[in-house]
Amino acid sequence: MRIGFIGLGLMGSRMATNLLRRAGYDLVVYNRTRAKAEPVLDLGAIWADSPAQLARQVDLIFTMLAHPEAVKQMALGEEGFLDALPPGAIWADCSTVNPSFSREMASQARERGIRFLDSPVAGTVGPATEGKLLFLVGGGPEDVETCRPLLEVMGRKIVHVGGHGQGTGLKMVFNLLLGEAMLAFSEALVLGRALGLSRDTLLDLLLGSAVVAPFLNGKRQRMVEEEYAAEFPLKWMRKDLHLASLTGYEEGIALPAVNVAKEVFALAAGDGLGDEDFSAIYQFMADKAGLDQSQAKASYGRDE
Ligand SMILES: NC(=O)c1ccc[n+]([C@@H]2O[C@H](COP(=O)([O-])OP(=O)(O)OC[C@H]3O[C@@H](n4cnc5c(N)ncnc54)[C@H](OP(=O)(O)O)[C@@H]3O)[C@@H](O)[C@H]2O)c1
C-alpha cells in the first residue's frame, strides 16, 4: 500500500517519520513549505509537487493540518487531492477541526467515491515522536479496520468513537478542558502571587493536588523558566476554543467559559504569544496583572 502524508508541521513530521522508520511504508509527502519536508525526504519519503500529484500515487492519505481552512485548501483548492485520489481510496484527516467540518469533508469525499475518517489525536510532540498518540476516530467500522495497522504505528491506542464527526467531536471536548484548565490555573497563580505567595510555593502545593489537572505538572518548567517553546502552540488553542464556541452555536447550547477563554487566548496571540506554547497564557496573565517575574524568582530565593 502506498501512503500519502500532507502537513509536516510539529506533529505531522513526527507521525510521518514513524510511518517511514517503524513500518517501512512507501510514503509520498507534500507540505506547503517544502523545507519542512527535508528531514522525511532524507529518510526516504518521496516528494510530490502538489496535493493532486501526491493523490495520484497513493491509496491512503493522511492529513495533519493547522485548521479547517488549510484542510479545505489542500483537499478542494487548486491542485487539491480529493479529485485526484483513485475511487475507493481512504482519506484520514488527523487535524483538529470542528465536527460539522468533518461531516462536510466526509460528504465531499463520499461524492467522489472516497472513504473518509476523522482521526484527530490527543497527545503532543513527545507522544507523536514516540508513536504513542491516542487516536479518536469517526467513520465506518471497515474503514477504521483498514487504517488501524497504520494508526497503531503512530499511536498507542485507537478509539473508534462513532460516525463521522464523532472523533473530532471528542477531541473538541478534550481541548475545551485543556484550554480552560490552563487558564484557570494561570488565574489562580496570579491571584496567589498578588497576595504575596511565592510562585514556587504555589506550584509545589497545587501541582499534584486534587484540584488541578495532571497535565499541568508538565508545564511547570516552562512557567518557572519563562521559556515557552511550543509543544502545542497557543494560536492553535485559540483556534480550538473558537471551534468549540462555533460548535456550541451550531448545537444551540451556551458555552460561556469557552467564549471567555477564547478571547483571553486571542488577546495573548495579539500580544505576540501565538507561536509560544499555550502555557504562555500564564505569562500573559501575570504581565497584565503587573506581576514582575523576576520578583517571583527573588521571593523564591528568600523562601529557601
Ligand atoms: N502540537 C500539538 O501538540 C498538537 C496536538 C494535537 C493536535 N494538534 C493539531 O494538529 C494540527 C497540526 O498541529 P501542529 O502542532 O503540527 O501545527 P504546525 O506545526 O503549525 O503545522 C501546521 C501544518 O499545517 C500547514 N498549513 C497551515 N496553514 C496552511 C494552509 N493555509 N495551506 C496549507 N497548509 C497549511 C503547515 O504548513 P507550513 O509548514 O507550510 O506552515 C503545517 O504543515 C492542528 O490542527 C493542531 O490543532 C496539535
Q: Give pLDDT tens digits for 185-226.
A: 999 999 999 999 999 999 999 998 999 999 999 999 999 999
Atom 8 (ligand 1): residue with closest C-alpha?
96
pLDDT on residue 22: 87
Nearest-atom number in ligand 1 for the CA of 33 is: 40
Band of residue 38 on the pLDDT scale cut at 50, 70, 90: very high
Give the distance (Å) from ligand 1 centre to CA of residue 146.
Answer: 25
Give the distance (Å) from ligand 1 centre to CA of residue 163.
Answer: 24
Atom 44 (ligand 1): residue with closest C-alpha?
66
Nearest-atom number in ligand 1 for the CA of 73 is: 32
Give the distance (Å) from ligand 1 centre to CA of residue 300.
Answer: 37
Ligand 1 neighbour 124 (Cβ under 6 A) = yes
Any idea of the CA torsion for 49, 52, 54, 59, to the nearest 10 degrees? Answer: 180
The structure's pTM equals 0.94
Band of residue 296 on the pLDDT scale cut at 50, 70, 90: very low
Atom 18 (ligand 1): residue with closest C-alpha?
9
99-111 vs 234-251: helix crossing angle, rounded to 10: 80
Residue 105 above 70 pLDDT?
Answer: yes
Percentage of the chain surpassing pLDDT 70? Answer: 96
